[in-house]
Structure 1
Amino acid sequence: MDAVSAEVYDVVGIGFGPSNLSLAVALEELGQVRSEQPISAVFFERQESFGWHRNMLLPSTTMQISFLKDLATFRNPTSKYSFVSYLHSAGRLARFVNNQDFFPTRKEFHQYLEWVASNFRDQVNFAHEVVSVRPAAGATGPMDHLEVEVRRLSDRSVRVVRTRNVVVSTGLAARMPDGIARGERVWHSSEFLTRFATADQASLKSVAVVGAGQSAAEITRFFHDSLPHAQVYAVIPSYGYALADDTPFANQVFDPTAVDDYYFGTDTTRQAFWDYHKNTNYSVVDDDVIRDLYRRTYEEDVHGTSRLRFLNLTRVSAVEPAGARTRVSLTHGDIKELDVDACVFATGYHAMDPAGLLGDFDEQFLRDARGAHQVARDYRLVAATPNTPGRVYLQGGTEHTHGLTSSLLSNLAVRSGEIADSILGFRLIEEELELPAAEPETVGNLG
């Protein structure tokens, strides 16, 4: 498709998880107030339908943030896309209030996200992947367009759309320890429920969970509940699980104002954020889950059984096939090897890096002394020259510039609002310069 016939949009979003869903909400609501012309936006998502951490929607697990930290409330408390509006629509508002609980189950919050996403179906192309982002042919200035090359997964057909604003929200990539690969019996937590559902559960007589964070603890508890015939090992590099600090003063690190404190702070201030507050989110577990697991091991000790075992101060050094099972080699402790039927690594994720999408275009954006992208306060990549075409925004991968909330839901509504504000501000400048507005041939699903 040539540049003349390519669809043109005000915004192209890469990925359609909670971050870009929140952006879609902000663009609609802010656009109605700040612009005479509707904002045209299109989103491309690899998944075949909306989904957010589906493989960790374990029974009875709850959100670790208040329901008020939804897609819109902190930016617009009157939004029709709030969690409270969803509860009212579902006929559960009074019953939810009667729970006297700030933390809905993950399953219910996922239903809320799906409910909001259903309002933007005409803007989203599922089962599509973005291949590249590049300046349009002949682009020589900041108001020129970018080209986004998109591939439909079903038939591998390719098309190009144009825009001045790209918002990258491709999520996080699963992290495995060096030298260990996923396989039939070696899983990452990001694929857990799918793997578990397709496994012969009767044959899972010995399982191991590696990691010290919330996901590891929840999977350990799930195994213990779901496989009453199985030995469950929790391999923990620390001396037991560490408690997540969710006390009021510590939680202020997730307030919208904390982003400014981090972004405009000194190197010393930023380091202090991590040193003092990393225990609010990283490799920590909620109090109720820790106490529940400890109570289980105590009760087993009382009854003279030991089906749930915690291998503390222990790391996995290797994983290899052992007949029909998997052999896990361990460092430290009295157990040097475990032969298990499944080993789950809840070992976290790698931060998003847009360089792969940008290709050679990435050279037109500045990096800091450590090699990380420089990011403006409005989450926009900092261009190397005033003539760099278009604008690229990041939803994620900005912890080094914006702090702990970069990839979390806590500041989602405000962050998306700030990006939408920036996009609308540039659009006003373009209108004053009488540049042609984005008028897509078809504002709707491209697939």
Structure 2
Amino acid sequence: MTRSSTPTLVVVGAGVKAVAVAAKAAVLREMDIAVPRIVAVERTAVAANWRADGGWTDGQHRLGTSPEKDVGFPYRSSLVPRRNAELDERMTRYSWQSYLIGTNQFAEWVDRGRPAPTHKKWSQYLRWVADNVDMNVIFGEVQRISVDSGANGQRWAVHTADQCVDGDGLMITGPGQPERSILPGNPRVLSIAEFWHRAAQCELIAAERVAVIGGGESAASMLNELFRHRVSTITVISPQVTLFTRGEGFFENTLFSDPTGWTGLTLDERRDALTRTDRGVFSARVQEALLSDDRIRHLRGRVAHAVARDGRIRLTLSTNQGAERLETVHGFDLVIDGSGADSAWFIPLLGQDALDLLEIGLGGPLTADALQDAIGYDLAVTNVTPKLFLPALSGLTQGPGFPNLSCLGLLSDRILGADIGAGTEPDDTADRATRRSDEHQPVR
């Protein structure tokens, strides 16, 4: 057994975070800086969640974040002493503006007032970056994640239906699967994917009473789409006391792009900031549309139970009234389950060895809250080796920009600056991740 000269970082999901890390790694490699080999394992396509076939959008809605917050933003690298300015300059070759220039769209975009791109256009940008850095993507749905033990330590093993990809580090991205709903298979209850599939097919919804479950951006995007459909009333169900508007001023935005002072805040201060700016809130643009539409109502509560009865879907809502819990029942003709992404969607995929590894590192049961509290500076779970990077769960401990699009350049710095080590491999074989990925051409 000999030590592999280059460690491998396996990324589950070929979305925006995977593209950002692959781009930064490619630039560092050009600068003769040692970086891990990046291998992404993707179910369908690069940037699929920004397209209609990904299930999270119809591709025609506008990006809520400024497109200038691209894969290198905020271009304030700290990985290479005395060469960070060079690194940032090289990264601008993969910026949003460079994409527009390279595809002859820059002048038109400027002349139109720099509009927010559609989700589909954003996916085209990400695919352009992935193509230009020869991002290594293995296509297959992850079915199990385990830990393999070798002579020189442990490595992650990501299993699809027909192959296994080994890595010295593992990064898990993505919001999970949009097909879930409170009543699967019932035609009067739509999952996020089912709703956007109908929207993409230009199939108008006709119903008297429609309920949308969720108070975050997934629900907000669907409300924005519902305005054009033939519905009489739209009731938004969320646990918040009202539908809050996301803070989008300079000071709020700075928290996302510059997390320097984040760890100096108390946990209560951090939670309050997240509540005001990121979790369970609607963008100002969506709120403005809500104000002009008198079909919108709000019900406070969490859905405790759902049942189909007499041609309707009856939802039991649970709310806290002081020290007591109150339950009420409401009937709807159509329910859209937009309760949002699940940042811990991957836990059911973990094998017993991986579960044991994480529970030992956490010092207790594996839960989303426990993982969230344990995310360190490098966006990995502390006290766990090999490294497990969970940027979607890093907002509370490291800053609100890391789980989303607001500081992708800093995210790639944190992850590529981590020491993920290198595993072992037999003398007469190549690294399994490399061998298997060689069967696929770089994404085009």
TM-score, normalised via structure 1 length: 0.75
Query: Structure 1's 441 and 339: CA in aligned 2 closer, same or farther, altered over 3 A?
Result: closer
Note the C-alpha offset of 1:77.
4.9
Q: Distance in 1 between matches of 2:421 and 2:210?
A: 54
Equivalent residue number for residue 376 of structure 2: 376
Q: How does 1:83-94 map to 2 (within 5 A)?
A: 83-94=96-107
Note the C-alpha offset of 1:22.
1.2
- 3-state SS of paired residue (2:160): strand
Note the C-alpha offset of 1:124.
0.6
Equivalent residue number for residue 360 of structure 1: 353
What amino acid does structure 1 have at the position aligned with 2:255? V
Computing the radius of gyration from Cα coordinates, the structure with the larger value is: 1
Note the C-alpha offset of 1:29.
1.0
Q: Is the 8 A contact 1:132 1:359 kept in 2?
A: no
Q: Is the 8 A contact 2:14 2:45 kept in 1?
A: no
Query: Structure 1's 357 and 34: CA in aligned 2 closer, same or farther, altered over 3 A?
Result: farther
What amino acid does structure 1 have at the position aligned with 2:309? A
What amino acid does structure 1 have at the position aligned with 2:19? L
Query: Structure 1's 369 and 71: CA in aligned 2 closer, same or farther, altered over 3 A?
Result: same
Q: Distance in 2 between matches of 1:167 and 1:64?
A: 25
- 3-state SS of paired residue (1:207): strand
Q: Does 1:245 align with 2:254?
A: no
Note the C-alpha offset of 1:123.
1.2
- 3-state SS of paired residue (2:210): strand
Q: How does 1:39-438 map to 2 (within 5 A)?
A: 40-47=37-44, 50-54=47-51, 55-58=55-58, 61-75=61-75, 76-79=88-91, 80-101=93-114, 103-119=116-132, 123-129=136-142, 131-136=144-149, 138-139=150-151, 141=152, 144=153, 146-152=155-161, 157=162, 159-172=163-176, 180-183=182-185, 184-196=187-199, 201=204, 204=207, 206-227=209-230, 230-237=231-238, 238=240, 240-256=242-258, 258=259, 260-263=260-263, 265=264, 269-297=266-294, 308-313=295-300, 316=303, 318-329=305-316, 337-340=330-333, 342-352=334-344, 355=347, 356-357=349-350, 359-365=352-358, 366-367=361-362, 372-373=370-371, 374-383=374-383, 388=385, 390-423=386-419, 426=421
Q: Distance in 2 between matches of 1:370 and 1:107?
A: 40
What amino acid does structure 2 have at the position aligned with 1:398? S
Q: Distance in 2 between matches of 1:103 and 1:345?
A: 27
Deviations 1:98-156 (A, max 9, x none): 233463333322221232233466611123325223133x33x4xx452524223xxxx
- 3-state SS of paired residue (2:389): strand
What amino acid does structure 1 have at the position aligned with 2:184? R
- 3-state SS of paired residue (1:84): helix
Query: Structure 1's 369 and 100: CA in aligned 2 closer, same or farther, altered over 3 A?
Result: farther
Q: Distance in 2 between matches of 1:252 and 1:369?
A: 35
What amino acid does structure 2 have at the position aligned with 1:232? T
Query: Structure 1's 437 and 380: CA in aligned 2 closer, same or farther, altered over 3 A?
Result: farther
What amino acid does structure 1 have at the position aligned with 2:24? A
Note the C-alpha offset of 1:250.
1.7
Q: Is the 8 A contact 2:138 2:437 kept in 1?
A: no
What amino acid does structure 2 have at the position aligned with 1:234? T
What amino acid does structure 1 have at the position aligned with 2:362? R
Query: Structure 1's 191 and 117: CA in aligned 2 closer, same or farther, altered over 3 A?
Result: farther
Note the C-alpha offset of 1:33.
1.5
Q: Is the 8 A contact 2:213 2:337 kept in 1?
A: yes
- 3-state SS of paired residue (2:266): helix
Q: Distance in 1 between matches of 2:436 and 2:307?
A: 52
Unaligned runs of 5+ in 2: 76-87, 320-327
Equivalent residue number for residue 444 of structure 1: 438
Note the C-alpha offset of 1:44.
0.9
Note the C-alpha offset of 1:193.
0.7
Deviations 1:359-383 (A, max 9, x none): 3244345216796243331123333
Q: Is the 8 A contact 1:376 1:382 kept in 2?
A: yes
- 3-state SS of paired residue (1:422): coil
Identity over aligned pairs, percent = 20
1:32 to 26, 30, 46: 30
Note the C-alpha offset of 1:32.
1.8
What amino acid does structure 1 have at the position aligned with 2:157? V
Report which stretch shifted further, 16-25 or 270-279. 270-279
Note the C-alpha offset of 1:284.
1.6
Q: Distance in 2 between matches of 1:349 and 1:171?
A: 5
- 3-state SS of paired residue (2:383): coil
Query: Structure 1's 170 and 64: CA in aligned 2 closer, same or farther, altered over 3 A?
Result: closer
Note the C-alpha offset of 1:292.
2.2
What amino acid does structure 1 have at the position aligned with 2:290? L
Q: Distance in 1 between matches of 2:284 and 2:316?
A: 30
What amino acid does structure 1 have at the position aligned with 2:399? G
Aligned length: 401
Query: Structure 1's 309 and 253: CA in aligned 2 closer, same or farther, altered over 3 A?
Result: closer
Equivalent residue number for residue 12 of structure 2: 14
Q: Is the 8 A contact 1:133 1:149 kept in 2?
A: yes
What amino acid does structure 2 have at the position aligned with 1:310? R
TM-score, normalised via structure 2 length: 0.76
RMSD, aligned α-carbons: 3.8
- 3-state SS of paired residue (1:225): coil
